[in-house]
Structure formats: C-alpha cells, structure tokens
Structure 1
Amino acid sequence: MHTQSPADVPTTPAAGGADGRLTAVAAVDLVKVYGSGDTAVRALDGVTVGFTRAQFTAIMGPSGSGKSTLMHCLAGLDTATSGKALLGGTDLTVQPDRVLTKVRRERIGFVFQSFNLLPQLTAEQNITLPLDLAGRTAERGLLAHLTGVLGLDGRLTHRPSELSGGQQQRVALARALVARPEVVFADEPTGNLDSRSGAEVLSFLRGSVRDLGQTIVMVTHDPGAAAYADRVVLLADGRIAGEIDRPDRASVTEALQSLGNHR
C-alpha cells in the first residue's frame, strides 16, 4: 500500500497513466460538505484521484470514509462543494441538471445494491431501457453477448418478480453495459446476493474489463469482492489514504485493519 500525492494523479482526462492508458474519470481536489456552521460534515476533503480506462477499480474504506460520496460526485448524482469531477472532457461540477441527466443516461452505467428494475417491464425491456430513453437501438451483437454470458437467454421475457435476486442483478449488469458507457459505477453490487451469485456478478465485471474494455469503479466493503479488481483505492476521513495494486483478500484486509487502527 502507498499513499498517492495529487502530483501523481492525472488532472485531465487526456493524461495518461503510468502504463500510457487514458484516465476515464477523475476527481481533482474534490470537496463535499454537508450542512453548515457547527453541524457541517466534510465528507470529501480535497480528494484527487484518477481511474484508468479499461480497468476495474474498487473504492474501500471504513464506514463514513466518503467512498459512496466520492462515487456519487464522480457519477453526477451529487454536487461537489468545490473541485472538479471529470468524465472524459466534461467537468460534471459545472453542468446544469439537464446536461447531467443526459450524461448519466448516455455515458455512464450504474449497478446498485438494490437492483432498481421496473417491475412492469420484462428483463429484455429493462436491459434496453437506457437506450430506449436515449432514442438509440441496441447493438444486437452486444446484447446477445451480454445475455449469453450472463445466462439470461431463457429469462428475457420474464418480469423481475419471476427472477431470483441473482438473475435480477444480472439484468441490471446487462442494462449498465448495453449502451457501451464510458464508465460503470457499481455501488455494493453484491450486497443483496448470496456468495455464489455475488461471485458470478464479480466474475462478470472482471470479464467485461477483459473482453469489452469496460471501465469499472466499484464501492465495496468486502475484501473478497475487492480482490476481483485491478486496483483498490483506500479512503479514510474523506481523504485518499493509499492504494493497492493487484489486490488479494489478505492485502485488502490488512490495509483496512491498518486504517482502522490509525483513526
């Protein structure tokens, strides 16, 4: 584990990482304060970090460390107090709501702990919903690939109530990837799943990076889930506290214990 200074992190999306790959999404001196005066809470305290394209990154830290707040600001779901949240060439912190809505719909994929499927739609209709809203047609080859890899081919006409939790999350995964987003944000994607279904979801996310060149940014509290990632970014008290390259369960557990001991 090592702490990364702001100078180490690309501050523009065109900047390359150490391996020459581009940064898909980045925070630059990002600050988020909730409330004001004596009750103000500084959830993010000057965070600067970049997330490389075609890489799977996990964000971890103790409860209250700011990991979900960071993801929400980077995804345009929450407004930053100051600093920049960069997606490609777009600074999300200065965009009006109508632009943020369009960005979230067309350039970002989301996977949440709760599956957020529309109950009246079939699995296939849920998958293609973001494209339908954007007035786009699904790439049939990509749709077939996703449903095949996720084992959904026999479930596409089923509604969410007719699917298991694992199947519903796999529908949500296909929905997140079918529009070829620049980045997929996954917030505790295995939180409501049993261990087998959770492992299937994580293996698929890992495979989407390898096979589709997808960029994945995942918030998780589970060291086993983080071990599927290429890299773990650690937060504590709203600040970057270090990172782990090529993590495994043991290295992540040790790092989290160290953070807890130094709070």
Structure 2
Amino acid sequence: MQTHSAPPTGRDALAAVAAVDLVKVYGAGDTAVRALDGVTVGFERARFTAIMGPSGSGKSTLMHCLAGLDTATSGQVLLGGSDLTKQSDKVLTKVRRERIGFVFQSFNLLPQLTAERNITLPLDLGGRKPDAELLDRLVTTLGLGGRLGHLPSELSGGQQQRVALARALVSRPEVLFADEPTGNLDSRSGAEVLGLLRTSARELGQTVVMVTHDAGAAAYADRVVLLADGQLAGEIHQPTIASVTDALQSLAAAR
C-alpha cells in the first residue's frame, strides 16, 4: 500500500488544490472497495491537468473529492490552504458555488433560461453581479457574442458546452473541474472546447483539472496524472497522444 503523511512539497506546494494521503472507501467489510488508497498529489495554479487511468482506477472519485462533491474516508483536500474535509455541508455548498467551477459532459444548462442567464446564474444565486469586463472577455473568447439571447435548445452541442464553460469561469473560480467535457460532442466541437480549456489556463490564468479517458483530449493538457487501482501511477508532462496511449497500455498490461 502506498501511503504519505507529509504535505505536498516542491511544485505541488504551489498547488491550487491538493490531495494529501487521500483515502476513499465505499462500503464496509468484505464488500468494501478502496477507490483511493493514499493519494498525495497537487494541481498547479494556471495549469491544465488531465487525470487518467483504467476503468475503476479512481480518477472520478479523486476529482469528486477534490471538488467537495464527495467526502474522503481519511486524508486531506486542500483548496487554497483550506482543508475541505473539515468543513460542514453548508460551508462546502458555499465553496462549490464561489470557489469552484464545473463543466460536465451533459452541459447542465437550464432550458428555460437564455445563454446569458445561464452564464450568470451562479452569481445570481449568490446575490453577486458579474464583472462586466470579464463577462465580455469570456463571451468574446468563447465566440458567444451572437448567441446570448438564445435558449439552449437553439444552440448546437458545442455552443451549449461553451455556455457551460463561460458559466464555470464567470465567478473566477480557484479551480475549474471538467468531467469528460467532450463526451457528448462531435470531434470538431470537442476540439474547440479542449482548445478553450487550454486557453483559459494559459491566457486567463485558470487552474483546470479534467478527468478523461481520451488520449486525444489529454494531449491538450500541460500534464497528465495517471492513476491505477486507487494509487498514483505516474505523470506525463507536455503529453502527446502517443505518450498517453503508451502509458495507458502499460498500465493495462500491468493489471
């Protein structure tokens, strides 16, 4: 079993969000499943990182714990120095609304609201007004200038995901989590969204953490973190489709 007791050091000490000796167990007794088994890893600010691994490796569980969507069995999740594992449900709800952004495979737009209202919804719920300059920059960068008055049903899948991305970024989250964000998109729309995620990290200074099973999607990231059987299994810097594919094949062969 791989265990860690010390906080992240070096590059990981500069992390926007980090896991420290993170353990997640589902169930109990003979049926218990150890989805995360002592994971310590940090995700740097203003960088685009992909989490990958075979089915059942714990990649989605790790993201859900990092984002405060699931509770860890033990260990720490540090967001800007705050330990999310010690927070109440009320505090976690506020953290998710104000400090974390989400982009999901299913878009999760409200069908009765225009694109603009969907974008500003998190701020509206928190009683905050959008930063007009940031909103204008996002609309321009994401190519939504002529679509703000449209309902989701009047937008293509790629356009809907761009609205979802703008919604996730408009509150200036410390970390943007993307869960298979191109899963429901055609290859062209998917490439556009991945390019925009990369741009948000490189030009907007956004920290992006994406879970994906697609080597092509991971190649857009600055770094790939590999998981296997709930433990860290390596990482790839400046990944390519070939380097990611080779790493995944090696992990599969070792199982």
TM-score over 0.5 for the pair: yes
The alpha-carbon deviation at position 90 of structure 1 amounts to: 1.0
Any idea what the Cα deviations from partners look like across 1:16-51, whole Å, max 9, x if unmatched? Answer: 518xx8210000000000011111111001110000
| Residues 225 and 235, structure 2, Cα contact 8 Å, conserved in 1 | yes
Q: Report the equivalent of 1:242.
A: 234
Any idea what the Cα deviations from partners look like across 1:57-108, whole Å, max 9, x if unmatched? Answer: 0000000100000000000000000000111121111111000000000000
Mapped partners of 1:189, 1:127: distance in 2: 17
Any idea what the Cα deviations from partners look like across 1:102-131, whole Å, max 9, x if unmatched? Answer: 000000000000100111111000000111
Q: Determine if the alignment matches structure 1 residue 117 to structure 2 residue 109.
A: yes
Q: Report the equivalent of 1:47.
A: 39
Any idea what the Cα deviations from partners look like across 1:233-263, whole Å, max 9, x if unmatched? Answer: 0000000000001100000000000000000
State the 4+ residue runs in structure 1 displaced beyond 4 angstroms.
4-7
Q: Determine if the alignment matches structure 1 residue 11 to structure 2 residue 7.
A: yes
Q: Report the equivalent of 1:143.
A: 135
Q: Report the equivalent of 2:124.
A: 132
Q: Report the equivalent of 1:81.
A: 73
Identical positions, percent:
79
Mapped partners of 2:105, 2:177: distance in 1: 11
Any idea what the Cα deviations from partners look like across 1:190-210, whole Å, max 9, x if unmatched? Answer: 000000000000000111111
| Residues 3 and 21, structure 2, Cα contact 8 Å, conserved in 1 | no
SS in 2 for 1:175: helix
Mapped partners of 2:158, 2:46: distance in 1: 25
| Residues 11 and 50, structure 1, Cα contact 8 Å, conserved in 2 | no
Q: Determine if the alignment matches structure 1 residue 96 to structure 2 residue 96.
A: no
| Residues 226 and 247, structure 1, Cα contact 8 Å, conserved in 2 | yes
| Residues 3 and 37, structure 2, Cα contact 8 Å, conserved in 1 | no
Partner residue of 2:245 out of 247, 250, 253: 253
What residue identity is the alignment partner of 2:71? T
Q: Report the equivalent of 2:17.
A: 25
Mapped partners of 1:185, 1:16: distance in 2: 23
Q: CA RMSD in A?
A: 1.6
The alpha-carbon deviation at position 6 of structure 1 amounts to: 4.9
How does the TM-score come out when normalised to structure 1?
0.93
Mapped partners of 1:92, 1:159: distance in 2: 35
Mapped partners of 1:176, 1:97: distance in 2: 21
Mapped partners of 1:6, 1:141: distance in 2: 43
| Residues 25 and 88, structure 1, Cα contact 8 Å, conserved in 2 | yes
The alpha-carbon deviation at position 5 of structure 1 amounts to: 8.8
| Residues 16 and 23, structure 1, Cα contact 8 Å, conserved in 2 | no
What residue identity is the alignment partner of 1:239? Q
Mapped partners of 1:94, 1:59: distance in 2: 24
The alpha-carbon deviation at position 11 of structure 1 amounts to: 2.0
Decide whether aligned partners of structure 1 residues 195 and 5 sit closer, same or farther in structure 2, where only a CA change above 3 A counts. farther
Mapped partners of 2:3, 2:223: distance in 1: 16
Decide whether aligned partners of structure 1 residues 180 and 122 sit closer, same or farther in structure 2, where only a CA change above 3 A counts. same
Mapped partners of 2:3, 2:205: distance in 1: 27
Q: Report the equivalent of 1:180.
A: 172
How does the TM-score come out when normalised to structure 2?
0.96
| Residues 57 and 228, structure 2, Cα contact 8 Å, conserved in 1 | yes
What residue identity is the alignment partner of 2:7? T
Any idea what the Cα deviations from partners look like across 1:106-164, whole Å, max 9, x if unmatched? Answer: 00000000100111111000000111111111111111111111111111011111111
| Residues 227 and 249, structure 1, Cα contact 8 Å, conserved in 2 | yes
